[in-house]
Amino acid sequence: MSAREELLKENEENVRECEDRIAALMLSLGRKGVESASSLSISVGQRLLSECYDRIAERRKAEERLSSIRSASAEHEGRQESLAEKERERDSLGDRLDTLEAQLGAIIYERCSFSLLDKSRYERVYHDIEKDGKKKGSLALSLRNAGQRRRFVRYSRIAEADDAASGLDGSALQLLSEISDIRKELVRLDGERKSLSSVIHSKRHSYRAMSHGGIERAEKALSECIRRENEAMEGYGSQLYDKGALWISDSTPSPMLSDLQAILSEKRLLDNLLSERARLGREAKADDLRTLLESEEGKLRILRRERERIDGEIAEIEREAERLRGNIEKLQGASERGGRGEADAASAHRMDE
C-alpha cells in the first residue's frame, strides 16, 4: 500500500468517526429539544416532534412488555427453584425421619425385650420378639439390617400414634418429640409443594410460550423501537440545526447551544476532511494517469524500436531488390546485343551469295 493510499484510508476512518459524532450530537440535540419542547417556542419540525413522541410511547410500551415477560419468567423460574429446594428439604427430612424412627424403634424393641413397656400397646413388638427369640445384644445386628430397620420404623409409629400413651421416657421421649416436629414440618412442606406445583401447572402454557423465544422476541422488538426512536430524534435534531435561525434565542437552554456549537465544529472538521479526501483522490487519480501514461510511453518506445528494426530490414530488402533489378537489366542488355550481332552476320552472308 502506497503512502497516499494509507492517507486515504486514514481519511476515510476520520470521516466515518466525524459523521458518527455528528449523528450522536444530532440525536442529543433532538432529545434535548423534545425534553424542552414544552418550555420553548420552537416553530419548526412539529411533524418530526410528533413522531418522536410516538416513538417514545412505542419504546416505553416495549420496555414494559419486556419487563413483564422477564418478571413472569423470573417468577416462574423462582417457583421451580423453590419447589426443587423444598423437594430437597423434604428428602433430607425424610432421611432424618427414617433414621430417628429406626433409632426409636430399636429402643422400643430393646425395652420390650426386657418387658419394660405396656404389652397391650406394643403387642406387635412382643410378638416379634417372641417369634425371633431375640435377646439383648441383637440390637446392633438389627440396626444394620434393612429389613429389621423397617420393622423398627413400624414399632416407632406405634408410639407416634399416641405420644401421651407411649410409655416412653428419657431419650426415647425426646426422639418421639423430634419425630413429631419433623412430621409437622413435612406436612407444611407438602402443602407448600402442592401449592407451588398447582401454580406452576396452571401457568405452564404461558411459560412455554415465553421459553420459546418470548424474551428474545421482546428484546428484539425493544431494540427496534429504540432504533426508530433514535432515528426520529436524530431527524428532529437535524431539523433544529438546519432551522436554528428560526428558534434560537436568549432563552435557549445552554445544553442545546453546546450541542449546536459542537455540531458546527464537527461539520467544519468534516468539510476539511472531505476537501482533503477530494485532494487525495485527485492526486491518486493523477498518479494513476501518470502510471498509465508511463505504460503507454513504454509501449511507444517499444513500437518505435520495432519500427526502426523493421525500417532497417525494409531498407536492406530494398537494396537487395535494387541489386537484383540491376543484374536483371545487365543480363537483358547483353542478350539484346548478342541478338543484333547474329542478325548482322546473317545479312552479310546473304549479300555474299
Contact 157, 120 (CB under 8 A): no
Helices 123-132, 146-160: crossing angle, 10 deg rounding: 150
Q: How far apart are CA 216 and CA 232, in angstroms?
A: 24
CA–CA gap between residue 106 and residue 108 (Å, rounded): 5
**CB within 8 Å of 29: residues ≥ 6 apart:** 237, 240, 241, 256, 259, 260, 263
Whole-model pTM?
0.60
Q: Which three cell numbers, joined as nine digits, stand for 163?
A: 405420644
Contacts of 32 (CB under 8 A, 6+ apart): 253, 255, 256, 259
pLDDT per residue, tens digit, the chain (353 aa), is 778 889 999 999 999 999 999 999 999 999 999 988 877 776 678 899 999 999 999 999 999 999 988 888 888 888 888 889 999 999 999 999 999 999 999 999 989 988 999 999 999 999 888 888 755 544 444 555 667 788 899 999 998 887 666 788 888 989 999 999 999 999 999 999 999 888 887 877 666 666 667 888 899 999 999 999 999 999 999 999 998 888 888 888 899 999 999 999 999 999 999 999 999 889 888 888 988 999 999 999 999 999 999 999 999 999 999 999 988 988 887 777 766 666 555 565 565 55
Which pLDDT belongs to residue 342?
Answer: 60
d(CA 188, CA 185) in angstroms, rounded, equals: 5
Residue 246's pLDDT is what?
82
Closest CA to 274 of 6, 16, 1, 3: 16
Distances in whole angstroms, Cα of residue 59 to Cα of each of 56, 220, 221, 237, 327: 5, 12, 9, 19, 106
Residue 269: predicted pLDDT: 96
How many Å apart are CA 204 and CA 202, to the nearest integer? 6
CB 59 within 8 A of CB 223: no
**Which among 182, 107, 93 is positioned nearest to 152, based on CA atoms?**
107
37 to 45, 227, 232: CA distances (angstroms): 11, 21, 15
Of 190, 159, 194, 163, nearest to 94 by C-alpha is: 190
Give the model's pLDDT for residue 69.
Answer: 84
